[in-house]
Amino acid sequence: MDIHEHQSKDILAGFGMPVPRGGIAFTPEQAAFRCRELGGGPCVVKAQVHSGGRGEAGGVKVCRSEAEVREAAQRLLGTTLVTKQTGAGGRQIHRLWIEEVSDIARELYLGFVLDRTSERIMIVASAHGGMEIEDLAEDDPESLVRMVIDPAVGLAEYQARELAFKLGLGGTQTAQMVTALRACYRAYRDLDATMVEINPLVVTGDGRLVALDAKMSFDTNALFRRPEVAALRDPGQEDPRESAARDNGLSYVGLDGDIGCIINGAGLAMATMDMIELAGGAPANFLDIGGGASPERVCTAFRTVLSDPKVSVILVNIFAGINRCDWIAEGVVQAFREVGVRVPVIVRLAGTNVEAGRRIIETSGLPIHSADTLASAADAAVRARPQTAAA
């Protein structure tokens, strides 16, 4: 789960990270009031959307007065911001962060991520901030400094000082970097984060380190024990299909293809999408229906998949263990009658009660194609696509 910049800054400030003064605004009047609170002088108006690259896309405005802040807020609120990370659909701007202007002398990059190879938290830092990490890795890989944290020890002070030296910091800035690194590490560890990114971490004209921008992501599976983090979720920044699926206990990710997928198990879902690609098609989604799926849950899965207008065919692939094939088959038949399925449906069943499931499909009298293997199901799904979708 991602959160907004201002929420990330609030969290990090609570752990000791220096951040600029600012306030949230949902209307132009609130934006002008926030500017007045900051002294009425130069302010930065920042669109709060779950995406990087906001500055390049016009989502960050430097304003010299309260009137300019109000005008910038009027132009931004309610519009869609399209960045290189959002895709063509963009993200709606419903809130703004009004922040004091910082005197920037130097920009650094700082990130905490999970390194799955070493199974450790890794710090990634660079003396060149203000750029996306992907661009840094491509344009200036030598500038990246990596450091792995031993979970049994935590972030040691000597590691923090060493990182500060490698970034060219000295004097009091080294002590400030130790404080900043410890704040990020504690926030990452204590709140079950999967990423903490400060970009840029700036050195101001008077030598202070300040987090000018911040981004945090959290492990969705750990939110049950972090209600204070779960409360920060903004459904307006999420794909509405993914939000609806999550609220119904389904794991759904929208993709760009036209073959809808209803599958149980993440591994089987990935294999199914690979087989669709191999057969010459493109999956429209990843959907893991989970274990113990009832007919009602299958109906919900059909509604979720069909909410994507690009879907021209649905492939149901179930290997039943905890699930039962007859439950799935009943759900498919129920979906045809309740949801009003108007696209071809290919069903491949295997495992518990498979014969009963196949009988339900065969005796339903509905235009449902059964397949015995995953390969034949993927081929059938690709062939069933209308010519316009295939083109």
**Residues contacting residue 247 through CB under 8 Å, at least 6 positions apart:** none
Question: Is 308 annotated as a binding-site member?
Answer: no
On the 0-12 / 13-18 / 19+ scale of CB atoms within 10 A, 153 is exposed
Phi, psi (rounded to 5 degrees) for 205: -60, -30
Report the alpha-carbon distance of residue 355 to residue 175 in Å, rounded. Answer: 69
What is the residue whose two structure tokens read 């709606």? 92
Show which residues are catalytic: 109, 197
Question: Is 257 annotated as a binding-site member?
Answer: no
With beta carbons less than 8 A apart as the criterion, state whether 113 and 42 touch.
no
Report the alpha-carbon distance of residue 54 to residue 80 in Å, rounded. Answer: 11
Question: Is 260 annotated as a binding-site member?
Answer: no
Centre a 10 Å sphere on the Cβ of residue 218 and count the other Cβ atoms it contains. Answer: 21
| Among 195, 231, 232, CA closest to 215 | 195
Using CA atoms, how far residue 366 sits from 120, 260, 334, in Å, is 52, 19, 11
Antiparallel, parallel or unpaired: β 345-351 and 313-320:
parallel
Question: Is 312 annotated as a binding-site member?
Answer: no
Report the alpha-carbon distance of residue 17 to residue 374 in Å, rounded. Answer: 52
| 351: β partners | 320
Residue 140, helix vs strand vs coil: coil
Question: Is 264 annotated as a binding-site member?
Answer: yes
DSSP conformational letter for 264? S
Using CA atoms, how far residue 311 sits from 44, 156, 305, in Å, is 42, 52, 7
Question: Is 102 annotated as a binding-site member?
Answer: yes
| 76 alpha carbon, distance to own chain's centre | 22
- The dihedral through the CA atoms of 318, 319, 320, 322 has a sign that is negative
What is the residue whose two structure tokens read 């149901």? 316
Question: Is 338 annotated as a binding-site member?
Answer: no
With beta carbons less than 8 A apart as the criterion, state whether 16 and 182 touch.
yes
With beta carbons less than 8 A apart as the criterion, state whether 191 and 11 touch.
yes
Question: Is 376 annotated as a binding-site member?
Answer: no
Which residues sit in the known binding site?
Answer: 46, 53-55, 99, 102, 107, 199, 213, 264
Q: Which residues are annotated as a binding site for Mg(2+)?
A: 199, 213
Give the residue ranges of the annotated binding site for substrate. 264
Residue list for the binding site for ATP: 46, 53-55, 99, 102, 107
